[in-house]
Amino acid sequence: MLGMSCALLGACGEESAGDEDSGWRLGAMKLQISMGEDPCPVVTATVTLLSGDGRPTMGPLSLNVRDGVIEGVTLPYVYESSAWWVQVHAYDSNGNNVCSGDDPGTGVHEGRTTSVYIKMHCAFPNCP
Q: DSSP string spanning 13-33?
A: SB---S-TTSSS-EEEEEEEE
> Which of the residue ranges 20-29, 38-47, 85-94, 110-119 would you say has the lowest mean pLDDT?
20-29
Q: In sequence order, which residues have a C-beta less than 8 Å from that of residue 106 and are 6 or more positions away?
A: 29, 83, 84, 85, 86, 114, 116
**By the 8 A CB rule, do 105 and 114 touch?**
no
The CATH number of the domain covering residues in 2-126: 2.60.40
pLDDT digits (tens, 9 = 90+) for 21-69: 567 899 999 999 998 776 788 999 999 999 988 889 999 999 999 998 9
pLDDT score of 8: 33
Domain boundaries, given as residue ranges, for the chain: 2-126
Listed in sequence order, the residues at least 6 apart from 67 whose beta carbon sits closer than 8 Å to its beta carbon are none
Residue 13 has pLDDT above 90, yes or no: no
Largest CA distance in the chain: 46
